[in-house]
Amino acid sequence: MKILVTGASGQLGSTLKAMASTKQTEGLNFMFKSSSELDITDFEAVREEMLSSNYAYCINCAAYTNVDKAESEKNLAYQINVSGARTLALNCNESKTVLIHISTDFVFDGFLNTPYVEEDIARPIGFYGDTKYKGERAIINNLDEYFIIRTSWLYSEFGHNFMKTMLRLGNEKKELSVVYDQIGTPTYAHDLAEVLLHIIKAHSIDYGVYHYSNEGVASWYDFAKAIFDINKISIQLSPIRSEEYPTPAERPKFSVMDKDKIKKTFNLDIPYWKDSLEVALKAHAKIDI
């Protein structure tokens, strides 16, 4: 079974690449394309790739993910997150390829105080979230066979992410302030990748929008403290409000997602976020040696 992975040099793409030679991926033939190797906004390039290789699935890991820069680089963010998603959807439709697209909890405004379900109305409060939601709609409007997986606070031993930033700052600083009034769920990219493989190997036709993150909830402060505690990094960590750390983009204050749909549909047991963080930190330590 041939599978195209776009945006293959990012966190999730790199995670899938690391898993590609393991027993978990037996029978699956991956083609990994970085954004420089396949620009998802280039309709003809995507069409040529899709029609020439008879892919059963396309996992779209390509995305503009810099939440703050999206406020000033609106055209670029729109081109990748909206036009790119539409390009993939149209070409998947023509080549009869199932699209697995990664979206975000930032499609929600964060005004609820209970976990968001898939049917809740998306009201993004930043341009990044707005482009991701419009990308979802571009897929839904142009393709029948798709899985849109909304995830949150993704981190791994690869790429740029909060875990690696905290590890760096923990070695550089004696004290640090992190916001405590934004609540969500950290998600280890390896756990998400395993779910994508599970969906593919199940040959599922339960298409639609799903929520996936690790179990539990945390603030960014809690996430940072867990990183420092597990790695035994001594640092004075202070909780602050978002107003004390202004950013170009507003973030949802509460973006915890309900995962009942994906758990019941695919019979999943989802790891608790702190347990997965321990695994990720061990994996990062091996790479860092």
pLDDT band at 7 (very low <50, low <70, confident <90, very high): very high
- pLDDT recorded at residue 67: 97
Tokens standing for residue 115: 């976990």
- Domain assignment present for 248: no
Active-site residue flag, 128? yes
- Of 128, 180, 212, 221, which one is the catalytic site residue? 128
CATH at 32: 3.40.50.720
- Domain assignment present for 122: yes
* Cβ contacts of 205 within 8 Å, gap of 6 or more: 145
- Domain assignment present for 197: yes
Report the domain count for the chain: 1
| HEC secondary structure over the chain | CEEEEECCCCHHHHHHHHHCCCHHHCCCEEEEECCCCCCCCCHHHHHHHHHHHCCCEEEECCCCCCCCHHHCCHHHHHHHHHHHHHHHHHHHHHHCCEEEEEEEHHHCCCCCCCCECCCCCCCCCCHHHHHHHHHHHHHHCCCCCEEEEEECCEECCCCCCHHHHHHHHHHHCCEEEEECCCEECCEEHHHHHHHHHHHHHCCCCCCEEEECCCECCEEHHHHHHHHHHHCCCCCEEEEECHHHCCCCCCCCCECCECCHHHHHHHCCCCCEHHHHHHHHHHHHHHHHC
- pLDDT recorded at residue 14: 96
* Cβ contacts of 232 within 8 Å, gap of 6 or more: none
- Domain assignment present for 136: yes
Its domain, for residue 134, covers: 2-160+185-215+255-272
Contact 249, 68 (CB under 8 A): yes
Supply the mean pLDDT for the chain: 96
pLDDT band at 22 (very low <50, low <70, confident <90, very high): confident
- Domain assignment present for 279: no
Contact 255, 110 (CB under 8 A): yes
* pLDDT greater than 90 at residue 149: yes
Comparing 113 with 150, which gets the higher pLDDT? 150
pLDDT band at 26 (very low <50, low <70, confident <90, very high): confident
- Domain assignment present for 93: yes
- Domain assignment present for 223: no
Sole residue written with tokens 């776009």: 6
Q: What is the pLDDT of residues 78-103, one digit of tens each?
A: 999 999 999 999 999 999 999 999 99
- Domain assignment present for 289: no
- pLDDT recorded at residue 239: 98
pLDDT band at 288 (very low <50, low <70, confident <90, very high): low
Distance, in Å, from the CA atom of 104 to the CA atom of 209, rounded to the nearest integer, reads 11
